[in-house]
Amino acid sequence: MVGEKEIQARIAELGDQITADYAGRPPLLIGVLKGAFVFMADLARAIRLPVEIDFMAVSSYGASTRSSGVVRIVKDLDIDLAGRHVILVEDIVDSGLTLTYLRRNLAARHPASLAVCALFVRQGNQKTQEELRYVGFEIPPAFVLGYGLDVAERFRNLPYVCEFTGELSG
């Protein structure tokens, strides 16, 4: 669906845009585990500013290929957000429910600014209209894997993204 070279080229463009937008005010990147770790590592290297990073882990999928709509924080941040310029780094935005929850949660911590950078936005599934400042790719409403995205914790290490058409098995 999206090849390795396309992904790397788009991340370089996002890095350039973030570098220009945050000149003089280095951002704190917050990655949403586990899916965003690959994207965030490449994005951090593409930003030509001193960046800090932290991670949150949330659960809304479990082992399913569909979001339950119920979000719970599994690992919270270690860094105080007050007065910081925060970029929430997401692997994929599907319904937008998890993102809505995370934005409210992070905004309550009083950052100086809060933007979202998502590598993928799945077309047609949004239940909310969240503002996404940086978007890598819009993709069809298929379940995808690779480049950090998984099915049952597998296939995150693929350097490209493809559609998952199989069935979950042990």
What pLDDT digit, counting tens, does each position of 130-139 carry?
A: 689 999 999 9
Residue 58 lies in a domain: yes
Query: How high is the pLDDT of residue 125?
Result: 61
Which pLDDT score, from 0 to 100, does residue 145 have?
Answer: 94
Q: Check residue 162 and give its pLDDT.
A: 95
On whether residue 169 sits in a domain, the answer given is no
Predicted local confidence at residue 14, as pLDDT: 98
16 lies in a domain? yes
Residue 57 domain-assigned (yes or no):
yes
pLDDT at 62: 53
pLDDT at 97: 84
* 76 domain residue, yes or no: yes
- Domains contained in the chain, number: 1
Three-class SS of residue 108?
coil
pLDDT at 71: 82
- Given this model, what pLDDT does residue 24 score? 94
Cis amide prior to 127 (ω within 30 degrees): no
The Cα 118–Cα 73 span in angstroms is: 19
Residues involved in catalysis: 94
CATH number, residue 55 = 3.40.50.2020
Any domain includes 170: no
**What's the pLDDT at 167?**
73
30, 106 contact by CB (below 8 A)? yes
Structural domain for 68, as ranges:
4-163
- Rounded mean pLDDT for each run of 10 residues along the chain, 170 residues in total: 97 98 97 95 98 92 56 93 98 87 96 97 69 92 92 93 79
In a domain, 168, yes or no: no
- Residues 84-116 as b/e (b if ≥16 CB within 10 A, e otherwise) read bbbbbbbbbbbbbbbbebbbebbeeeebeebbb
